[in-house]
Homo-oligomer: A and B are copies of this chain.
Amino acid sequence: MSEYLPGLAGVPATQSNISSIDGEKGILAYRGYNISDLVENSTFEETALLLLDGELPSKSELDDFDRQLRGERKIKYNIREIMKNLPPTGHPMEMLQTAVAGLGTFYSGSHVLTDGYQREDIFYVHLMSVKIISRMATIVAAWQHVRNGYDPVEPRRDLSHAANFMYMLQGNEPDPMTTRVMEACLIMHAEHTINASTFAAMVAASTLASPFLVVAAAIGTLAGPLHGGANQRVVEMLEEIGRPENVRDWLDMKLEEKEKIWGMGHREYKTKDPRAIILQKMMVEWAEKKGNLSPMFETALELESACENELGPKGVYPNVDYYSGILYTEMGIPPDQFTAIFAVSRVAGWMAHWREQLSDNRIFRPTQIYTGHPSREYIPLDDR
């Protein structure tokens, strides 16, 4: 039997060609393409298709995919009714798991997967990926309105995935800078090797469960505060600090008490998270273009430079959650929606791993080290 490593840390659970991380050099690549190049040159639509298919698409392949995504943006009134039956206090991630699982009932038994991925499965896998990627954006945006007692904003076909998402979320067409930041965030969060939610998707997929069941399992896992909830915590932390002039004292206190500072450091990266570098630039650009910064934004800039001095030498840098939380807040997005937006992006990676799992499947059934009672005799209730 192999050695027991808690959390399966360092244990290979799959062979994968979807993404890679070089933690020493601070490189994240999807299918071999550096994340910085993708953010600079690509779109979410192209990146999603790259993740799903393995290669950068041709112009006509991309056009087809884009058209398919635009065509799948509507959700049935049943899904809206389901949302209306959830309390407004329900967390967006819990709502999202409910809605995606509910969506799955409409495609029940539409295709039976078998062990041994067939040519004819590819069409199904592609179609379901389109449906789920497209509609998750609609669902998350719709909840913002439904939970406040309003009807959702209908999707528009003339906008890109990122722009339409912001439009549906906020009810007006986003400016180019906002669209660019959302596009970058959707690209950057789409995939990150075998994290807990992707792994949960793989485990569910390995039983040949439907993609809706698989994605709902992944959503349930991403929702945990140790996984997808960090950028929401960053904003709560900044609110706690309050103003830029409080940063130094607050940081000294936290460091002395050895408490966690949200949005700092990453298990995988020994150097600065490449996604954080991109977002940091965008934050500066945002500040220059928009001006009139909120106290939170000023506080974040101050905390960032204080941490750079104090923690940088120890190899601890602000991570992707740090900047995305701040930018989302400036964009007017409520903090409890951050993880749901993460899911709207990450679903592209989940679908890619679903497809990869099917192509060479073996059901996940690790073993355990039994540490419990040896065989013992049942004692009747009256004798206990």
Contact = CB atoms under 8 A, between A and B. Distances in A.
A97 B3 contact: no
Interface string A195-227: 111011001111111101110111111111111
A62 B380 CA distance: 13
Interface string A366-381: 1111111111111111
A339 to B, nearest CB: 11
Interface string A45-58: 01000000010111
Contact of A16 (B208, B360, B369): B369
Contacts of A162: none
Contact of A200 (B18, B79, B217): B217
Contact of A384 (B8, B15, B56, B379): B56
Contact of A20 (B31, B104, B370): B370
A97 B42 CA distance: 36
A195 to B, nearest CB: 6
A90 interface: yes
Contact of A376 (B32, B193, B267): B32
Interface residues of A, number: 117
Contacts of A376: 32-33
Interface stretch (A81-89, A244-252, A285-293): A81-89
Interface string A5-41: 1111111111111111000000101011110011001
A11 B10 contact: no
Contacts of A81: 81, 85
Contact of A195 (B108, B227, B365): B365
B194 A221 contact: no
A176 interface: no
B94 A213 contact: yes
A55 to B, nearest CB: 9
B11 A2 contact: yes
B97 A368 contact: no
Contacts of A33: 376, 378
Nearest to A42: B378
Contact of A105 (B98, B105, B113): B98
Nearest to A353: B368
Contact of A369 (B12, B58, B62, B374): B12
A4 interface: yes
A368 B225 contact: no
Interface string A262-294: 000001000000000000000000000000000
A59 interface: yes
A314 interface: no
A11 B11 contact: yes
B105 A368 contact: no
B17 A363 contact: no
A93 interface: yes
B112 A90 contact: no
B195 A224 contact: no
A220 B209 contact: yes
Given A2-B11, A82-B102, 11 more contacts: A7-B362, A8-B365, A34-B375, A46-B381, A81-B81, A85-B85, A86-B102, A87-B106, A115-B226, A207-B221, A213-B220
